[in-house]
Amino acid sequence: MPAKDFPRISTALTLDPHPEENLVSYIFRLANHRRLGSARMLLFACKFDTFTNQPRPEWMAGLAKTACIDEKDLWAISYGQPDRKWATFRGQPVSQSVIERRGAAERRICPTCIGEIPVHRAIWDLRYVAICPVHRVVLMDACLACGKPIRWLGGDLTRCVCAGKPEFSSFVAEDAAPEDIGATAAVYGLMGDPRFQAEADQVRALTPFRDLAGANIAEFLYRLGLERMGRLNKYFSSENPGELVWEAHVAMRRGLKAVTPWPSAFHRVIDKMRLRSDVLPGKSMRMAAGAVERWQAGLPEGQGTEILRVVQEYRVVDRERQTGDG
């Protein structure tokens, strides 16, 4: 029979992971490719308990076998093995607090990105990414048709499951403010996106960041930015940003502003952190400067040394001021 008489449906079993997608995106695409109707069917066939980008090794082995794909290619788009504190994002350790969402089922997307390449980009899972610097829009987290949060549901990651199954690519996202784009563009570069290497290099060249890995620079900017957004309950923390999660791009811009000029702009943020509570100066120092020091202490050896130096310098100056006044 001549080849042209064969049905034009692809019967290839394998599907290659896209380098920008996360593991759950791949599971959805593979299920769709195999016409399974729902990604959950594939998930349970591989013995996964839940949609996760940090599967147990035996779950991943099952998926690799089902997908007929080398396990290491799947680990490359995953966030590493299960771990309470850390995830691995494209080879860089990132803290769990910046990768978790409000409920694991929810997503944020750029409709134009999904229209161009129909995969869920891993970088949208980072809490400090709230805009797409490629299309200069705010990421969407709700369906424009039904108003419900965009979730990992059904069998197609490019559409909502509501009536009419609207394609996300048909949605128009809100423009991001031009001044808010640069800091997130740098974060894309710091997390390995080749399109934003120039922006990343500019940030890497700043004095406090010369000895920090890209993901740690991004997290520092986020923590500092949240401080400048006026959070009240935590000090220099990336946990539970509440409503501020939608303003992450603004936080990143403000975080970047708070390191130039270095170190005076940064010292002013510590001043502000201490003024937040009406506790004794010694206690406010432990809460504010101490929070930055504790974060630095958790970094790999040799990282964040300039940041630590400047915090300690701040302590010395403050002690002299106290004794001078007394």
User: Could you tell me the smallest distance in angstroms from the CB atom of residue 109 to Zn ion?
Assistant: 9
Q: What angle do CA 80, 294, 219 make, to 5 degrees?
A: 50
122 binds Zn ion per the rule CB under 5 A: no
Of 76 and 162, which has the nearer Cβ to Zn ion? 162
Return the residues of window 81-110 that contact Zn ion according to CB under 5 A. Answer: 110
User: Can you read off the two tokens belonging to residue 84?
Assistant: 């309470």
With contacts defined by CB under 5 A, name the span among 156-164, 245-253, 264-272, 300-308 that binds Zn ion.
Answer: 156-164
Binder to Zn ion among 64, 145, 206, 308 (CB under 5 A)? Answer: 145
Rounded distance, CA 193 to CA 215, Å? Answer: 12
> Which residue in 58, 55, 53, 59 sits closest to 126, CA to CA?
53
Label residue 43 left, alpha or beta by phi (over 0 means left) and psi (-120 to 50 means alpha).
alpha
Q: Per CB under 5 A, which region of 146-154, 245-253, 281-289, 309-317 contacts Zn ion?
A: 146-154
Q: Which of 132, 153, 173, 212 binds Zn ion (CB under 5 A)?
A: 132
| Residue 113 in the binding site for Zn ion (CB under 5 A) | yes
Spatial contact of 302 and 211, defined as CB atoms under 8 Å apart: yes
Q: Please state the closest distance from residue 214 (CB atom) to Zn ion, in A.
A: 20
The stretch among 152-160, 225-233, 280-288, 307-315 that binds Zn ion (CB under 5 A) is 152-160
Q: Which residues pair with 63 in a beta bridge?
A: none
Instruction: Report if residue 142 touches Zn ion, rule: CB under 5 A.
Output: no
Residue 291 as a binder of Zn ion (CB under 5 A): the answer is no
For Cα atoms 115, 151, 72, give the angle at the middle one, nearest 5 degrees. 75
Q: Which of 38, 81, 112, 169 binds Zn ion (CB under 5 A)?
A: 112
Contact status, residue 122 vs residue 89, Cβ threshold 8 Å = yes
Instruction: Report if residue 146 touches Zn ion, rule: CB under 5 A.
Output: yes
- Distance between CA 108 and CA 25 in Å, rounded? 13
3-state secondary structure of 20: coil
Single-letter amino acid code for the residue at 204: R
Residue 270 makes contact with Zn ion by CB under 5 A? no
Site for Zn ion in 202-241 (CB under 5 A): none
Beta strands in 252-322 (DSSP E): none
55 vs 155, beta carbon nearer Zn ion: 155
Q: Which of 87, 140, 160, 212 binds Zn ion (CB under 5 A)?
A: 160
Interface with Zn ion by CB under 5 A: which range of 158-166, 231-239, 260-268, 313-321?
Answer: 158-166
The interface region with Zn ion, picked from 155-163, 220-228, 289-297, 310-318 by CB under 5 A, is: 155-163
DSSP H or E run through 14: none
The residues, any chain, with a CB within 8 Å of residue 169's CB and separated by 6 or more, are 111, 112, 114, 115, 118, 158
Binding site residues, Zn ion, CB under 5 A? 110, 112-113, 132, 134-135, 143, 145-146, 160, 162
